[in-house]
A and B are shown apart, each in its own frame.
Chain A
């Protein structure tokens, strides 16, 4: 598998499938050993990773489901309560609020993020000096600690922060962006997009770089308009990268935590409370680990569903043959 040309290695089903049925490269072993395979050696190499994998991923995943059936305080002994946490959850108005907030966040954030990333990465393919440098610039906030990023935005967006005093010089009275429920979620989304779209610029740039120049040249010679070139050549050719960025960005979006936690503490009211923030609070502030685990499993199911839907939908628009 040519690694360098497949930014969608994880996302494309093709990447997974051959791994499963195509035998990985084999080292010929002496005839006598052939039947046994490399069982013991393999065990030695795999043991550290696999132990950790089971202990820190598989067990907690199942454990999360088990814990969700208990009333489980941080300290003290748990009591089995069956599906009571789930029943409570479906009767909890805050659950619906955080679910809705998270869904709105995820879709708006992913859409704006991809649109911007696509725009910027297309811009970077035009005649530019230092295009590599600009690409890195847009990537900076994706590397700096999210908590620091969010604190800077909290300062700039606060009631008498920079944004409002700039608006003031134009005679516009700015809103209290972070404590007005009409704007708070928008502020969280804006900050998040600023922080992360540089990731996708790089992925999409790699996709764009993979388009053979001759194809674009040929279409230019044929007199195709820039829009048609984008619509009928560029987008289909980078559709695997687009699909990959869309899927990963969406998965990431459902995990949003730091931005609302630092910018708005989920407020005002519950207007920027998100799924993971609510999960964190239930588990580690309100002392309800069982309830938090029920939330975690719902999150898991929602993310899996959305990812599955995206994979199902990719057949309609993602083009893997090159």
Chain B
């Protein structure tokens, strides 16, 4: 084959063409196949959206159609008012943004200490952090609830935000990245008399915007989707986050599936926007591991 190419390029060229075309056809057939699979895979979301637009009495039908006898956009506004759904979304964002911020601050400071400073028991302490990476958080909810109760924090934003900002993962992740940055930059800054904090802030962090955004996105999603802990620690509708608010829907006036699906659509949209805007960070974060498996 290679000698052919060298000695008689023209003939090879004509011989390659049908083969190339065959490859192209194969590629597109393959793409079509995965598109079909992807369509089936995402079908639950499609069905959710179309159900959200149906009149309630047409949700269940022996001959299902995508569009009912009328397209009821009104379901969305009804869902919005039946329960304070706007409030749930606000709570979700508020808790998730503050939670992600707190997680990042904690992770960056701890990771700096673990990767750049020397102190007694450093490595043993870090090992303890690493060991808790596989600890199921469900093991902690009972004592955490009792603590929140004793502190009078049950049914507060603080209870939603604070307890889960200190998981070892952020520290672990940021430390790994700190270790990849050569020391020369900081040494220069430190010798010039910059404080350690200044070095961290204006030398290290600017080089770590990618991992910081990964950590931010995943902390945000973790908080936004969390269900068990809000279910335990939040009693009032006013403080419910999105998943908790959605589950409250079942209680209100029986189950109205069209409104419930409208609410589910509203709940899913922020996640879809996040995926669309931040897919690179998401993929990077998952590929790095540690966020998986929920």
Contacts and interface: CB of A to CB of B under 8 A. Distances in A.
B78 interface: no
A251 interface: yes
A218 B196 CA distance: 51
Interface string A136-173: 11111111111111011101101011100110110000
A64 interface: yes
6 contacts: A56-B163, A67-B146, A143-B274, A145-B268, A151-B260, A152-B47
Contact of B134 (A52, A57, A162, A303): A303
B96 to A, nearest CB: 11
Given A24-B179, A129-B28, 7 more contacts: A24-B116, A26-B183, A67-B146, A145-B242, A147-B242, A258-B227, A307-B134
Given A48-B106, A134-B34, A296-B138, A25 B224 contact: no
Interface in B165-183: 165-168, 171-172, 175-177, 179-180, 183
Interface string A247-274: 1111111110110001000000000000
A112 interface: no
A46 B214 CA distance: 22
B221 interface: yes
B83 interface: no
Given A28-B187, A57-B132, A128-B30, A148 B118 contact: no
Chief secondary structure at chain B's binding surface: helix
A76 B230 CA distance: 22
Contacts of A140: 42, 45, 271-272, 275
Given A46-B110, A129-B28, A143-B282, A37 B118 contact: yes
A127 interface: yes
A53 B166 contact: yes
Among A2, A140, A289, max chain B CB count under 10 A is at A140
Contacts of B293: 196, 199, 245, 248-253
B126 interface: yes
Contact of A63 (B51, B146, B290): B146
A155 B264 CA distance: 12
A45 B117 contact: yes
A183 interface: no
A144 B224 CA distance: 9
Nearest to B171: A49
A161 B60 contact: yes
Interface string B56-74: 0001111110000000000
A289 B146 contact: yes
Interface in B56-115: 59-64, 105-107, 109-110, 112-115
Among B116, B172, B272, max chain A CB count under 10 A is at B116
B142 A137 contact: no
Given A129-B31, A299-B139, A138 B38 contact: yes
Nearest to B276: A136
A45 B246 CA distance: 40
Contacts of A179: none
Nearest to B140: A60
A38 interface: yes
Size range of the interface on A?
35 or more
B44 interface: yes
A257 B177 CA distance: 33
Nearest to B269: A144
Interface in B276-294: 279, 282-283, 286-294
B56 to A, nearest CB: 12
Contacts of B225: 143-147
Contacts of A248: 289-290, 292-293
A178 interface: no
B31 to A, nearest CB: 4
B142 A276 contact: no
Among B60, B142, B287, max chain A CB count under 10 A is at B142
Interface string B137-157: 111111111110000000000
Contacts of B291: 199
B246 A151 contact: yes
Contacts of A254: 136
Interface stretch (A9-17, A92-100, A228-236): A9-17
Contacts of A21: 123
A104 interface: no
Nearest to B183: A25
A52 B136 contact: no
A152 B44 contact: yes
Contact of A194 (B44, B113, B268): B44
A10 B290 CA distance: 7
A145 B176 CA distance: 29
A297 interface: yes
B10 interface: no
Contacts of A11: 289
Contact of A139 (B62, B179, B186, B282): B282
Contacts of A205: 287
A31 interface: no
Nearest to A164: B62
A39 to B, nearest CB: 5
B257 A155 contact: yes
